[in-house]
Structures are given as structure tokens and as C-alpha cells.
Structure 1
């Protein structure tokens, strides 16, 4: 059974903005990235899934239950992008209040609260008042609230945006831990470089539409590239099966080239070819695209398509 499933789910505001025609299926025990720039409809989509907004059209299910129902939210945790808690409470008092709302049995509350405090890195700080928390500490207590009820599905909306580098690493480690426990994490983020090591699958969102979805490393659909450092500064006689090549840097008596191939299996052939020409090969390094490269690839493709359509 898919943990999250939608069919043509749409939420617009008087026909504008929001998110349109989203169809996706998300399995168990993965980090699913719903990625795109601010204003692309990511938060609207999450609030629609959680029943906080009424969909314009389409349908969705969480753990097999229709969105907007109490049952669909019973095993869900949620950290909004913008949240405020009563600042006169201490962190522990806030968690005790949430434990009561989540109907965690009284005899289990202290142990569970202690567990989540440790998981989010707040041990020793939980008795301070929320009014005195930094942005990072407020984000941590928000995360603690989101996972307090040990949910099967966790929605995190920009969870690292207020954190310093150490805090961002802590959150990434927490998400990896939760995924390893079999949880499904639905992650909204515009910080693509922050989440590329975590996301198993992604949807890339732009201007309210999903451009592409799937395992992000499979979404580039470009010919493989490799960097090769060669002896000498003259033009290299690359073989004819190389699609294209360009000199990117002169490094003393060596030259770094960017070479585009039809198939990664051609790399050994290229090295053999250059060696047969008495050209010293000092380094061969495949070029791995980053998530930002994948995102820009699809954004640019959409712009080109829109330009052609308008001609």
C-alpha cells in the first residue's frame, strides 16, 4: 500500500496560484523531496494533504484514508514552515501539552518526551521558556512536537531553514534515522543542496506544477560527462565517438578537459586511445550532477518549451 497517494489533486485560489493536477504515489520508509523555489505551491500542497485546505479538485489518501479525515491524520506528524507556540511555556511543558493532545498514555509520556528531546538535540535546554529560544532551538522543539506521537508519516516544511550548519546536519541525521525506522518523510524544501544526500525520490515543482518526479539521480537524462587531465596544453586528439569536448583549465604543463560521451563504457576506450597516441593521462573523473543541476535542467527545458509554444 502506498503511504501517500494523490490523483490530479489541485488547490488554487480563484483559479490562480497554489498547485495543480498532482498525481503521485509514495511508498513506505523513504524520504520524498517535494522540491522547488519559494512560492511554487509546496506548502499549499502539504496543507491540502493534511486537510487544512479544501482541495479544488482531485483526491488524495494518507495510509489508505481520504485526506481531510481524522483517520488520515492519526498517524501523521507535521512541522509547518511558519509556526508559533505559546512562548510562556517551557519546551517540556509544550511537549506535555502535545502528548495530551496526541492521547499518549500518561505512564508513557515522560519516557517518550525524554526520547524526542534527545533525538532533536535539546537535552538540558527543554526547561527553558520558548520566549528565550533562538530560531534554531524553536525549530528543534517544533521537530520534537512533530515526532512525539511516533507517526508513520512525517511532513516537514523547510525544516532546516532557520538552522546553522551544525543544526542542519543534526536534522539531516534525524531524518535518516527516522527513515531507517521505516517512517515516510515528506520533505518540502528549496535548499536543494541540503537535501540531495537524503532524498530517495523527488518531485520537482515550478510555478504550481510538477515538472518531473522519480529517483532524482535518474532524472537528468543527459549524456554522461567525464573530466580528464592530460599531459600538454595542445588540443587533444579525442576519438570520433566522443560527442564533444572542451578545454576547461590549463594547469601548468597539464590541461583539464570536459568530455561528453554517449556511454560511460567508452571511458576505458578513451584512455586506451589517448595512451596509444603517447598522451599522458593523469586523472579521469566522472562528473556527477547535483540536485540543483537536475532542477535547472528541467526548469530550462520548461522555459524552452514555453518559448516554442508561444512562437
Structure 2
């Protein structure tokens, strides 16, 4: 984990643009050149990214995915989740497949990606994530092991004003420690769409929740546990990086920490007991 600074490789994706209109054609040309090298018409792996009003962020995410160093035949599919900005114009300027999902929500967006993907395996990514070059290889190395049906990776935060890297490192250390505990009995609680992989055949049987509610990825993972093992990918080469906008919603770093500590303390005892079977499509997050 980078203690004081984000890794240097993310700097190449720090585009200064604020809107689609500001993005020069030369940037699209450069990204498309990389995309043409890694994508295949008959992919083994589909990387699916949902996007809602992410006309610039999705450019950064796809640019990082285009730098994957892999021999795996793959494709990149972005699902436009009813965006009202120029997200679709950005997607149309890139050499990727895209689909439009008018039903608002993370579940509906990921469900459309699942249905339209062509690969045997599906890796999910987020439109505000930056992906290291070995990400796909590291996840697939574990996902292709016998009996494994789902894998998840780890992620870190890019520092921003009020959220220095050294504080974020402490938060991530806490987060990763809790993830180890969760994994013993409730690995699905570690399943986040920013870095997740599963066998598409079984996922199609399960399906995503089709209304707007957080935790759609954990619900998918929970149901996939009926078909095989869930494993975590701890490799630093697979650690994804993202901005702090979700943390900023809490107002400050200290408030973020206390809120997360409170959540984990309230459910600490339950971490030692497997969650009972339930209908993940109708359950709430309470």
C-alpha cells in the first residue's frame, strides 16, 4: 500500500478536462490505439462498467483498462445507466461496446451488462476507478481456480484536500483488516463492484436486484455462494484506485472514520456467524 502518495502510474490518467467538449480527439485516438490491441471479437473475459453521468470519469477509467498487460482475450462493455450528460458521446468516441439501460440503479445497470457480455467470465469495474495493468490477470488467476465462482479485490483512495494519503492509509488498513474478518463467514460483504469477478453462467442464473439499492454486488455474491467458493485477491498488483467523493459525502475524514467504526461495531458479533439464506432481491440494507 502506498503510505504517503498515490502510485505514479495513475498520473497518466489525471486528465484535466471538465466536460466531453474539452477532450481533444488526440486523447481518444491514443486510448483507442490501446483498446484495439487488447480487445478480441471472441472474448474469454468481459469487463463491464456501469456509468451514470460520467462523461469525463469514464474516459479515465477506460484509459486505465486499455493499459491492461494481459494475453487474455477480453472485451470492455460500458452500460450507460440513463445518463443525462454527454456520457454517451464519450462512449461513442471510444472503441468499446456500450449499452443503454433506462432503469435507474446499480443493479439494473449491472444486469444489462451481465446479459450482453460475451465472455465466460465477467469482471466488474466502476466508472471512477483506475485499474493497474495487472488487474485482470490477478483476478482471473484466482477466478479460474477449480471450484471458485466469485472473487473480489481491494481498493485504495487517491488523496484530495482534507483527505491526505497518510490518513487514507490508516482507513484502508482498518478496512482491509475488517475484510479479513468478514471473509471467514460473510465474504459477500466484501464484494464491491469496483473490483469483482465471477463466472457468468452462474450469475445469469442468479441475476441482480432490479431496483435502486446499494449492495447489489454483495447480493449477487451471496447467491453465487450456492454454486462455489468466494475468494479474495490480496495482490497489490490488483489494487484499484479511486477518488474520495464517496468519503466526502460524510463531510470530513474524522466523521468518515467514526461512521465506519460505528457500522462495524454494530455488526461485529454477526461476523462470526454465516448469514442465513434469504431473498436478496427483496431484503433491505437495515
Q: TM-score range by the shorter chain?
A: under 0.3
Specify which structure has the bigger relative contact order, considering alpha-carbon pairs within 8 angstroms and separated by 6 or more residues: 2
Whose radius of gyration is greater, 1 or 2? 1
Higher helix share: 2
TM-score normalized by structure 1? Answer: 0.24
Higher strand share: 1
